[in-house]
Amino acid sequence: MAEIETGSPPYLDPIPFSTGLLLSDDTFRLVEGFACNKVGQPETPFERDVTIWLTAAHGDGAFEAARLGLAEVRLFLADDHRVIGYGAIGPVDWTFGETIVPLWLLHYFGVHTDFRSAKFADYRLSYGRRLLGGIIEEVVRRGDRKFIALYVDPQNPARGNPETNTGFYPEFGFREIDAEVERGRTWVRMLRPL
Amino acid sequence: MRTLHTIWFENTTPFVEDAEKWQRQGLNFDTELTRIKVLREAASNAFYYWESPRISSNPSFRPVTLPEETVERVRELFPGSI
């Protein structure tokens, strides 16, 4: 398990990223109807981002990013072949002052509505935690980049509390470094060393 | 796209300069110079209105140059990492 800054591991029984099916012409049909809102609750804007990106057929979504080789998008299936969730990572270079630093970007990550409400004896066994744990372990295993980064909507509860470093992403070792405005919308940039 | 535009402009400039020089010596390059002028205007217009493909609503696919204060914050958060 990857070393993290917090005391107890934020996940148990990680789902290995490499066991996911690559999104492709052959597997794209599996994402039809994907949604990731909580059962019985309206879809939040950031849940909608995650759904739209995965299911967009042309031009501006996961399929295009995978086709262009910009992202490795993997689908995780239950035994009955329903989609549990997905993760998308890709290599990028960020410029830190005079230094170009290769890192991994967690572009998107989501758990299907049907699997978000599953109850477990230990919260660290939730599908979201197991999937993200598998992604973190995969990029640590690859060992070729210093950081993994992500962008999160400031209203997304997964952002956690930057003052106390509590909440979903902080528990996985992500720390806020700044914010960026993209087409009028603010995104918090988070970084985690590998 | 920006690079391609720059290269194309740089590649046409020497020909335009040579053609204008020979034109002053009495040779006629009106047709070629007019054509280049039209193409350069078309390329400039295309470049002006061009937008990078939007593959995601979040900026994770954009090139990133971190501001100096962010670099300092990363150094504070993760000493020795960069």
- Are the CB atoms for B74 and B82 separated by under 8 Å? yes
Sign of CA dihedral A106, A112, A116, A120: negative
- Are the CB atoms for A89 and A71 separated by under 8 Å? yes
Domains, chain A, ordered by start: 17-193 (3.40.630.30)
A68 vs B contacts (CB less than 8 Å): 55
Q: Hey, is A77 helix, strand or coil?
A: strand
In this complex, the residue of B58, B61, B81 whose CB is nearest that of residue A187 is B58
**For residues A12-41, b (16+ Cβ closer than 10 Å) or e, as one string?**
bebbebeebeebeeebbebbeebbbbeeee
Q: Hey, is A161 helix, strand or coil?
A: strand
Name residue, tokens 């006629």.
B28
User: Of A15, A8, A50, A22, nearest to A126 (Cα)?
Assistant: A15
**For residues A71-87, b (16+ Cβ closer than 10 Å) or e, as one string?**
bbbbbbeeeeeebbbbb
> What gap in Å lies between CA B14 and CA B32, rounded to an integer?
13
Residues 39-78 of B with CB under 8 A from A: 53-71, 73-74, 77-78
In this complex, the residue of B58, B62, B67 whose CB is nearest that of residue A49 is B58
Q: Which of B51, B60, B76 to mutate to test the interface with A (most CBs of A within 10 A)?
A: B60
**Span A16-30, mean pLDDT?**
97
Q: Hey, is A142 helix, strand or coil?
A: helix
**Is B60 in contact with A150 (Cβ distance < 8 A)?**
yes
Question: What local confidence, expressed as pLDDT, does residue B4 receive?
Answer: 76
- A143-172: pLDDT as tens digits: 999 999 999 999 999 999 999 999 999 999
Q: What is the ipTM of this complex?
A: 0.88
Name residue, tokens 């193409």.
B39
User: Of A32, A20, A40, nearest to A117 (Cα)?
Assistant: A40
Q: Minimal Cα distance from A147: which residue of B? A: B81
B70 vs A contacts (CB less than 8 Å): 177-178, 189
Q: Hey, is A12 helix, strand or coil?
A: coil
- B23-52: pLDDT as tens digits: 888 889 899 889 888 888 888 887 777 666
Strands A185-193, A83-96: pairing kind: unpaired
Q: How many CB atoms lie within 10 A of CB A163?
A: 7
User: Is A26's pLDDT higher than 70?
Assistant: yes
**Is B58 in contact with A99 (Cβ distance < 8 A)?**
no
User: Is A33's pLDDT higher than 50?
Assistant: yes
Distances (CA, A) of A39 to A42, A44, A87, A112, B69: 8, 12, 21, 10, 41
User: Of A139, A111, A126, nearest to A54 (Cα)?
Assistant: A111
Residue A187 near chain B (CB below 8 Å): yes
Residue A83 near chain B (CB below 8 Å): no
Residues 98-137 of A with CB under 8 A from B: 99, 101, 105-108
User: Is A184's pLDDT higher than 70?
Assistant: yes
Question: What local confidence, expressed as pLDDT, does residue A8 receive?
Answer: 81
User: Is A92's pLDDT higher than 90?
Assistant: yes
- Are the CB atoms for A130 and A116 separated by under 8 Å? no
Q: pTM (2 decimals)?
A: 0.80
Question: What local confidence, expressed as pLDDT, does residue A4 receive?
Answer: 46
